[in-house]
Structure formats: C-alpha cells, structure tokens
Structure 1
Amino acid sequence: MTDLPLAIDFGTSNSAAALVQDGQLRRLTLDGQADTLPTAVFFPAERGPMQIGAAAVAALVAGEEGRFMRALKSVLGTPLFHESRPIGGRRRTLAEVVTAFLAETKTRAEAQTGLTFRRVLSGRPVHFHADPDRDARALADLTGCLSAAGFTEIGFCPEPEAAARACADLTGTRLGLIVDIGGGTSDFSLFRVTGARVEILASHGIRLGGTDFDRLLALDHVMPLLGQGGQLRREFGPGLLPMPNEIFVDLATWAKIPFLYTRETRNAVTQLAKFAVEPRAIGRLARVIEEELGHDIAFAVERGKIEANAGKPGAMIRLGKIERGLYAEIDAASMAAALVRARAELDAALAETCRLAGIAPAAVETAILVGGSSLMGLVGQAVTAAFPQAGQARGEAFTAVVDGLALTAAGA
C-alpha cells in the first residue's frame, strides 16, 4: 500500500514520524518504544554500519572509537553541507549523512507499518536562515536529501503552523500563539480558531534554539577553564597577545565539534600551549582535542543546563573526563547572565510576530509552548513578559509538530 503520506519532523536534536491511518493519528516508534528518535549518527572507526538515534549516543557514551554527529539540521544551506570529509572510513558529505538518516527513518517507518511510503510532508522552520538565499538553499538541501532517501512526492509545512493544528483545541482558545522552541530555531504562529477551522494569521522565526543555549552556556561557563580569555606571550619581543577565540567557539558548537579533531587543530593547540600564560588551562584543551572529548563537554553542559533549569541545588557541569574533580557551577542566575542576548532575541521575535499579524499582544488569549527547549525557564518568562494577560499551556513538547504534520498531510 503506497497511498498514505508519512509526516516527518526532522529536528536539530530529535526527529519523529507519524501518519493518520483509519482516521486515527499514529505516532511511529522509530527507536525502541520512544516517540522520538535522537537526530544523531555514529560511524564506527572500522567501517562498520552507521548507527543512529539512541544507539549512536550509546556508542559515544561507551567510548567506542568512531565519529559522532549531532545537530546536522543546523548546517543545511551552508557550504559545509556539501564539503567532502573523511567520515566512517571514507569521504562523505553531510548531505549524504542526512540522506542516510532519513532513508533509515523511512525504512523503520515502513517496517513498523507494513506500508511503502512515497509521499512525505516534512516540517521546516519558518526560516532556516535569516538570509533569503541561504534559506532557499537550506530548503533545496532538505528536498534533495528527502528525494535521495526515496520519497517522490515531497511537501513542507512550517513547524509552528503544524503545531497550531495539533494544539488549537488544547484550551478552547479563539486567538492563540504557538511558541515552538526547538534545538536550532525558535518559531511562532499566531492563529485564530473559528469552529473547526484553524487560520494562521502570521508566522515568524529566528535562528535560535537549544543548541544555541548550550553554546552560550559552554562559552560562559566551560571554555574559560580550557583557556578562553587567556593571554599568550609573544614569540619575539615584550607584551602579551589575546588568546584566539575561534577554536573555543567551534568546540562549543554541536555541529562543528567533529571537525576539530585534525592534525591542524592539534598543531595549533600545541603552539598555544607553548606560549600560554596559563599553560594548565591550555593543557586541558589539548587533552580535549587529543582524546576527542568535545561531545562529552556538550552533553555535560546540556545536563547541567537541565539541572539548573529545574532548580536543583548544587547544579554543576561535570568535567571529570577532562580532569579529575573539574566542574563548573551553574544556577539560574548564571544561566540568565549567559543567555541575556538570547532572551532579548526571544523578546523581539514575540513582538515581531504580533506586528506581522496586526494583533495587539493584549488580544492573545493563550500561548502554547512546544518544542524541547520551551521547557527552559527563560522561555516562559519571555512569554509572560510579552503577554501578561494570556494564559500559558503546554502542548506535547517533542511531538506536537509531527502530530500536526500528520493531520495536515491527511487533510484532517
């Protein structure tokens, strides 16, 4: 059977698939019994088969030799997406990696349902990138990957608009706002409900998400322990030079971590250590690069962020793999300070969504928060500040988008 469309939410951090079958919404469990599949891949060093999802994360945690990748969606539309690099024993592009991930998603969906899928409705952020040309390239990149994965009829729906269709009757609201904060983007849709009809009044999006929160927290809390912000002695003559920042930014960026483990990077760190005023910190950086601990740092930051967001006493970013007993303290106040720019971007985006819709903020009845990163306290705080008279509700954080995509694809 090939007439049913498959809905795919290919996310920066997690992905999901669903369909409407016999009039019922059906989420597919693509990774054990979970409704979502971590958007992560692992290539064993000895040319074994690519692993995806929880198996990829488990391979990294177990210390298996190989290449781990996450946040692949964030490089759609960039030159990096089509550059050929040594991955898993041969040269590949990230486009090939994403295609393989989507093809495996399709294969698992077909195995679970007994159907053959040729049609797909994929979610997309309102804007992959602020630049229109790069945004168009990102959409073309994702279209190409879906086609190469085996889909012959490909459609797209903005993710917050799909979430609005899934969540519109959540509170009985007539004028509502979807706040969809994912791993790579923040997207917003103002909608009006009339009877059974959901009308999208305006949608807006910015390139800001959970991986950006992680990057800012890593730069603020962790990278100074590795030498960021330090100084270098000049090779000749008196005076000091500032520590270059690029390597720390890349190390704090999920999508760029795998490409730091090169001879050039190792040589550069060796030079930094030679002239560093604080050699111990750069020694930690050297160990991170030599032992490929970048993703261990990223997961530690993510865990610390979750602890601090939940108000856990003594929350910290544990860095014991780098140095015994090493950690960075983190709490609500330090997070707020590190994320002040992100908060300002959220505030501006909420105001812009209302402006695009021609709706006064006071008219919004309910703000519905979806997306894994909507669980961050600063998101609820930003929404409260922008819409103090509106109620807040939570949709299914990780599946509202794919639910809405399935309903849209089925014409429900």
Structure 2
Amino acid sequence: MIGFDYGTSNCAVGTMVDSKPELLSLAGHGQYIPSTLYAPSREVIVNWLYQQLSETEQVNFKSQRLRQLQKGQSMLRELALDGIDGDLAFGQAALSAYLDEPDEGYYIKSPKSFLGASGLMPQQIALFEDVVAAMMANVKQLAEQSLQREIEQAVIGRPINFQGLRGEESNRQAIEVLTNAAKRVGFKHVEFQFEPVAAGFEYESCLAKETKVLVVDIGGGTTDCSMLLMGPEYTKLTDRSAHLLGHSGVRVGGNDFDIQLALKGLMPSFGLDSLLKSGKPMPSNSFWQAMAINNINEQTEFYSSSNYRYLEQLQRDAQQPELIARLLNLHENKLSYRIVNGAEQGKIALTDNEQTQVELFDIDEQLMVELKRSLILTSAHRELQNITEVMHEAIEQAQCQPDVVFVTGGTAKSPVLSQFLKQQMPNSRLVVGDHFGSVTAGLTRWAQRLFS
C-alpha cells in the first residue's frame, strides 16, 4: 500500500517503514518527480500506454481507443522514418527534451490543472486520462522497482476543489479521470484524501494534546485550507469526519506565482509596458495569453496564426520593435513553458537571495533579467488576497480560531510568503512543515489505516 501524491508540480510516493512514513526514491528522479511529460508526438502517448498495461486491460483499452491506437501507430512509422524514437520522457528528462526543441514534440506540465476544466470534449477528456495514466504507470513502475514488489492499493491526494468553473461537477470529472487512470495501470484499490487533511495527519503525529490546526497547503495549482481538530487520541481512527471543522480551496498555487512573476518580471523585456508609436500603452492581452500555461483556451488563442499576424502589426506600431521581435520569437518557437520555467527558477533562487538573474540567452544572446524578492509579493498581490480569503473562510466554517497555522507546499519556502501569512494570523503560531513531503507522508499514514 502506498500514499501517492499526484501533484500539480511533483509526484511522490510513500510507504510505511517501522511505523513511520518514508518517501520512496524513484530511481534517478529522487523522491520527487516533476509532473511533466514529453512525447515526440501527442498521437503516440496512447501507444506507449498500451504497452504498459496488463493483457486483460489491453483488451479493454483497445476496444475504447482503437482509432487513437491506429493513428498513433501511423505516427510511429513516420517518426521511425525520421530516425526519431517513439518513447516518452517524464520529469526532468521531459523538460530537458522540451527545452532542446521547444517547437517540436508534445510537452505537458501539470495536467492535474486541467482535469476539472469546463467545456472539455470527450476526446480531450480521453487524452487527459491517457496522459495521467502514462504518468501514473511510470511512477508506479519506479515505486515497484524501489520496493521490489507489486503495488495494488493507493491513497491518492486531491485538492478541495479542482480547477474548474462548475463546482462539484468539475470535481467529479477530475476524480473520474484520476480513478480510471489509476485502475487502468494496475491499482486495484484506490481511495482519495484531501491534501490539506493528509498534511494535517502528518503534523498530528507530533502533537501531545488536542489542538485546533489550520492547514494551509499551497500546491502547484491550488491552495487548500482545512481546519482540523487533532491530537494523539485521534490518530488510529478511520473516520475523522467529526474532526474536519472547515474546508476551503481556491484555484491559486505555485504555478500562478510563477506565471505572475514571469508576466511582471520577464515580459517587460518582450514589450509589456512599452509604448506604441502613437504614445498609447502597448496592449497587454497577448502577453498574458503567452504566460497562461494553465489555460488551454488562452494558449490556443495566443499560438493561433491570426494572433501571429496581430503581433507582427504590433511590432510595426511599436516604439521598441526589437522587444516585440522577442515575443514573435516566443510565438514561433512555442516558448511559453520556457519563460515560465525561467520565472520558477528565479523564484526558487529568491528563497535564499534578495535578487537573482534570469538568463534567457537562448531567446536573445543579450537577454538577462534581474528579479528582486519583493516582486514576488507585488506581482502576486491578487493571488495572495485569494489565499487570505480561503484561510478566513475555513475559520468561519469552523467557528473557532486556530491554535496553530501549519503551512506546507513548495511555494511556502519563500520567506516573503511566510511573512505574509504571519501577518494574516498574528494570534496563531505559524509552523512551516516539510515543503514537499507533508502531504505524501500523511497520505501514507492514511493508507495504512485504511488498508491494514
């Protein structure tokens, strides 16, 4: 049995060792594998996945995906003629493959962000299910190699609300995709647990008395808050519903901080905030669309041929056409993920430094942008306000104040964010947990309770 954090930014797996959760080493990826996938063509994902399935599941899968498998087989023959391998890459290898040739292949980061999206066609849902299943199959195989045994039972983390405009309908859609994918790749028993609740379970293991804990889990795609009644007398219970005092979640996470930092910190070097020859400000919509890597519709619009013609006109009208030339280069070579990744690496560097340099020499040999730590706060002002609102919403539901605010998630590493959260809850003790491992460890503890 495992706890499986299928995260927006990273995936991790835990198992119990000597009554304590231990995160598994996933071969060369370490304990955390970035939630990314790269394929030489989108059409071949289904064929790679088919090869990973059991014989029984292959029969079922083929009956559902026959047309896609045939298209993928045709694409594999074309790739072979060009000397291109049809295999998939995951984690850092996927990012490296994308950065090597950003205008080739199919790269997807954080598919979890799209699972609750509104207006998806059945074929789009099927594609996301196959992408998720491929990623899960890879992680499952790595975990089984580490444990040297088959894994059949898993507790998978989930946010309070997935990204989607339809509330519970979006949540049902996302859970159905995750469940179908998990069972397809060989998990026979699958349960879900709210990610902030799981993180709370890990914190509960160190408590000596009953404590009201507000868990703030700032993930890659969502921020979730749970007000929990916790203590040593509750740790062996399998029904904790009476202790879950309040829940709230918002579609704001680390990816949004990266996007905003890219927009406010890097996009001015591509023409944002510059002027037209008329003296009017440069229209900003295309810059936002370029960075909106978690919005399928915005990215589709930005990379349309009609938008490229619009950008060419902007360049002709610009006081600094050389800046818009960089935006055109971004469009031509599909570099949105490259720019946001640069912002993310800058954000990470700003954890320990007041300022850092982001090198974008592959876009322009002269382009290096300085970012300051304070920009994290100012660029993500709206996102921080949203986080504040969900914290207070969980407290209002619980109708009590927390004794402790327990913060987890990779973005929580930023001292700017920690200071901000302290200001929001001045009368509660702030504890910053394992930035990546708390959710996985808590899911692992819950798996032991459910499946033992």
TM-score, L = length of structure 2 = 0.78
- Counterpart in 1 of 2:288? 249
Q: Which SS does the other structure have where 2:449 is aligned?
A: coil
Q: CA RMSD in A?
A: 2.8
Is 1:77 aligned to residue 116 of structure 2? Answer: yes
Q: Which SS does the other structure have where 2:205 is aligned?
A: coil
Matching residue within 6, 11, 15 for 1:10: 6
Contact 2:208–2:231, Cα closer than 8 Å, also in 1: no
Is 1:116 aligned to residue 176 of structure 2? Answer: no
CA distance, structure 2, for counterparts of residue 349 and residue 9 of structure 1: 22
Q: Which SS does the other structure have where 1:32 is aligned?
A: helix
Q: Which SS does the other structure have where 1:330 is aligned?
A: strand
- Counterpart in 2 of 1:155? 191
Relative to structure 1, the CA distance from residue 195 to residue 372 in structure 2 (aligned partners, 3 Å threshold; closer, same or farther) is same
Q: Which SS does the other structure have where 1:108 is aligned?
A: helix
Contact 2:374–2:416, Cα closer than 8 Å, also in 1: no
- Counterpart in 2 of 1:386? 424
Deviation, structure 1 residue 84:
5.6
Deviation, structure 1 residue 316:
3.1
| Count of residues paired in the alignment | 393
Deviation, structure 1 residue 411:
0.4
Matching residue within 56, 64, 69 for 2:94: 56
Give the structure with the larger helix fraction: 2
Greater alpha carbon shift after TM alignment, 13-22 vs 239-248:
239-248
TM-score, L = length of structure 1 = 0.85
AA at the equivalent of 2:32: T
Is 1:344 aligned to residue 391 of structure 2? Answer: no
Task: Give ranges in structure 1 of 5+ residues lacking alignment.
Answer: 86-91, 234-238
Instruction: Give the percent of matched residue pairs that are identical in Structure 1 and Structure 2.
Output: 27
Matching residue within 7, 10, 31 for 1:35: 31
Q: Deviations over 1:282-304 (max 9, x none)?
A: 11111122233322211211122
CA distance, structure 2, for counterparts of residue 406 and residue 194 of structure 1: 18
Q: Which SS does the other structure have where 2:14 is aligned?
A: strand
Q: Which SS does the other structure have where 2:435 is aligned?
A: coil
Relative to structure 1, the CA distance from residue 210 to residue 399 in structure 2 (aligned partners, 3 Å threshold; closer, same or farther) is same
- Counterpart in 2 of 1:89? none
Q: Which SS does the other structure have where 2:361 is aligned?
A: coil
Contact 1:120–1:153, Cα closer than 8 Å, also in 2: yes
Task: Give ranges in structure 2 of 5+ residues lacking alignment.
Answer: 42-83, 236-242
Greater alpha carbon shift after TM alignment, 42-51 vs 159-168:
42-51
CA distance, structure 1, for counterparts of residue 309 and residue 133 of structure 2: 33
Deviation, structure 1 residue 50:
0.5
Relative to structure 1, the CA distance from residue 320 to residue 306 in structure 2 (aligned partners, 3 Å threshold; closer, same or farther) is same
- Counterpart in 2 of 1:401? 439
- Counterpart in 1 of 2:62? none
- Counterpart in 2 of 1:371? 409
Matching residue within 170, 194, 215 for 1:178: 215
Q: Which SS does the other structure have where 2:7 is aligned?
A: coil
Q: Deviations over 1:369-405 (max 9, x none)?
A: 2111111234322321232132222322111111111
- Counterpart in 1 of 2:181? 145
Contact 1:369–1:393, Cα closer than 8 Å, also in 2: yes
- Counterpart in 2 of 1:88? none
Matching residue within 308, 317, 327 for 2:358: 317
CA distance, structure 1, for counterparts of residue 29 and residue 116 of structure 2: 33
Contact 2:377–2:417, Cα closer than 8 Å, also in 1: no
AA at the equivalent of 2:89: Q
Relative to structure 1, the CA distance from residue 61 to residue 411 in structure 2 (aligned partners, 3 Å threshold; closer, same or farther) is same
CA distance, structure 1, for counterparts of residue 119 and residue 283 of structure 2: 22
Deviation, structure 1 residue 42:
1.5
Deviation, structure 1 residue 230:
5.1
CA distance, structure 1, for counterparts of residue 357 and residue 208 of structure 2: 41
Q: Which SS does the other structure have where 2:11 is aligned?
A: strand
Contact 1:77–1:141, Cα closer than 8 Å, also in 2: no
